[in-house]
Homo-oligomer: A and B are copies of this chain.
Amino acid sequence: MTTSPGPPAPKAGKDTVRRHNLSLVLRTVLDEGETTRAAVAARVGLTRAAVSSLVEQLLAGGFLTERGKTFSGQAGRPGTALRAAATGPAGLGVEINVDYVSVCVVDLAGADRVRLTEHLDNRNVPPGEVLERAARIAARTLTSAAGQELDAVGVRLALPGLVSGGTVRQAPNLGWNRVAAEDLFGRALAALRPERPALPVGSDNEANAAAVAELWFGAGAQREPVRGFLYLSGEIGVGGAIVVDGELLRGAHGFAGEIGHVVVDPQGPVCRCGSRGCLEQYAGQAALLRGAGLDEAAGVPGVTELERRALDGDGRTVAALESAGRMLGLVVSGAVNLLDPEAVVLGGIYRPLMPWLGPAVNRELSGRVVSGLWPRGGTRLRASSPSGDAARGAAALVVRDVVADPARYAGR
């Protein structure tokens, strides 16, 4: 993830504590869903007067709304119910993948409010053109969001490749090498909205963004949250992300998680990454479609057809999925031996295919994970949550920046 350039930060100094407390109060309201000034004061350990002053600033900045009167649940006079604003500051997430672009706007509470997805082939198209397409889709999404009075304060791109310092170092399945994605997208979007100030643009790997969504809106947001997991994103490529103690493990260059390029067979087919026999060659979308006798370039309709055939019990399809599941299980067992995660989450196209992939993956895991740690029939392997995907995760990363320092975004 790159640091979002964002609006210039106010000078540090005497207002640092107040800015910190603004964030603390906003986070507390977001955590509670709906609460009162008194309850916030009790929880964060500030005086009621201090909290009231901070709440006024958050109301004025459009971060909070209040409505009606509610009883605090304790003795005393009723308080006003505070909650995160459903309008105002929002995050824009833009997933650019090989055969689709998906854009979403999330509000301060993380809810997915506007979504626009277009299926199109981004292969063999110059990167600048793909980013212009994505900017057009983003601009239309922002127009819809404005209709709901949501005002995006930043953009995060989610891209299927090695992303660092605003640049895609390599995205083999898109055929990108050293593409200044943030800059190109930002300029294209600004050109489409000349009347608006340019939005700061950040970028991240798509599997990282999807794993963040799983952490905040899926497995990590359950009653018994999963705070450490290995995430696999099945697409044209096979992306991956590692979450440890509620944080992404990014690695020395920001490139951790590339499980799609772990080798299954050193003599296997050449991969777009330059190596041979990578997992992607056995368990990527093209391999699944090809194995089932479908056109490997059939895209989303192909995956839908694959699922339909599997549901029909088509032998070749089921066998192809089982074979891919074995390969996934082989590589995932190694990753589990290395990382000892609480859970393994399969997302992207793997989610609907779990009924057929899952048993084969679990079989390999229970046979290969060091002793007794992967009991058969356990629940450590799971499909990704339907409420989390890379675009929402990317948008939520923008919102996280807002919540971490609301003062920086007030009065935009």
CB <8 Å contact, A341 and B371? no
Query: A330 is contacted by which of B258, B263, B373 (Cβ under 8 Å)?
Result: B263
CB <8 Å contact, B274 and A340? no
Within 8 A of B (CB), among A223-279: 228, 240, 242, 244, 249-259, 261-263, 266, 273-276
The distance in angstroms between the C-alpha atoms of A118 and B333, with both chains bound, is 36
- Verify if A62 is at the interface (C-beta below 8 Å from B): no
Q: Closest CB-CB distance, A337 to chain B, in whole Å?
A: 4
- Verify if A335 is at the interface (C-beta below 8 Å from B): yes
CB <8 Å contact, A162 and B370? yes
CB <8 Å contact, B340 and A254? yes
CB <8 Å contact, A228 and B252? yes
The distance in angstroms between the C-alpha atoms of A380 and B169, with both chains bound, is 19
- Verify if A355 is at the interface (C-beta below 8 Å from B): no
Contacts of A340 in B (CB 8 A): 250-258
Q: Closest CB-CB distance, A341 to chain B, in whole Å?
A: 6
Contacts of A244 in B (CB 8 A): 244, 249
Q: Closest CB-CB distance, A404 to chain B, in whole Å?
A: 20
The distance in angstroms between the C-alpha atoms of A341 and B341, with both chains bound, is 18
Residue of B with least CB distance to A264: B266
Contacts of A253 in B (CB 8 A): 340, 373
CB <8 Å contact, A367 and B249? no
- Verify if A368 is at the interface (C-beta below 8 Å from B): yes
Within 8 A of B (CB), among A308-330: 326, 330
Q: Closest CB-CB distance, A313 to chain B, in whole Å?
A: 27
Which 4 A-B residue pairings sit nearest by Cβ, starting from the closest? A251-B340, A262-B334, A258-B337, A256-B340
CB <8 Å contact, A338 and B373? no
Query: A242 is contacted by which of B162, B330, B338 (Cβ under 8 Å)?
Result: B338
Within 8 A of B (CB), among A352-390: 367-368, 370-373
- Verify if A65 is at the interface (C-beta below 8 Å from B): no
Interface residues of A (CB under 8 A from B): 162, 169-170, 172, 177, 228, 240, 242, 244, 249-259, 261-263, 266, 273-276, 326, 330-331, 333-335, 337-342, 367-368, 370-373
15 further A-B contacts with Cβ under 8 Å, apart from A250-B340, A255-B373, A263-B334, are A162-B371, A169-B371, A170-B372, A172-B371, A228-B251, A244-B244, A249-B249, A256-B338, A258-B340, A259-B337, A273-B371, A274-B367, A274-B371, A334-B334, A338-B339
CB <8 Å contact, A249 and B370? no
24 A-B contacts (beta carbon < 8 Å)? A169-B371, A169-B372, A170-B370, A170-B372, A177-B371, A242-B339, A250-B340, A251-B339, A252-B340, A252-B341, A253-B340, A255-B370, A255-B373, A256-B340, A261-B370, A262-B337, A263-B333, A263-B368, A266-B326, A274-B367, A274-B371, A275-B333, A275-B368, A338-B338
Q: How often does this chain occur in the complex, in copies?
A: 2
Residue of B with least CB distance to A337: B258
Residue of B with least CB distance to A271: B368
The distance in angstroms between the C-alpha atoms of A342 and B253, with both chains bound, is 8
| Residue from A253, A341, A342, A371 with most neighbouring chain B CB atoms (10 Å) | A371
The distance in angstroms between the C-alpha atoms of A263 and B332, with both chains bound, is 10
Contacts of A242 in B (CB 8 A): 338-339
CB <8 Å contact, B333 and A335? no
Contacts of A339 in B (CB 8 A): 242, 249, 251, 256, 338
The distance in angstroms between the C-alpha atoms of A337 and B335, with both chains bound, is 11
Contacts of A172 in B (CB 8 A): 371
Contacts of A254 in B (CB 8 A): 340
Contacts of A263 in B (CB 8 A): 330, 333-334, 368
Query: A338 is contacted by which of B177, B326, B335 (Cβ under 8 Å)?
Result: B335
CB <8 Å contact, A338 and B371? no
The distance in angstroms between the C-alpha atoms of A293 and B87, with both chains bound, is 74
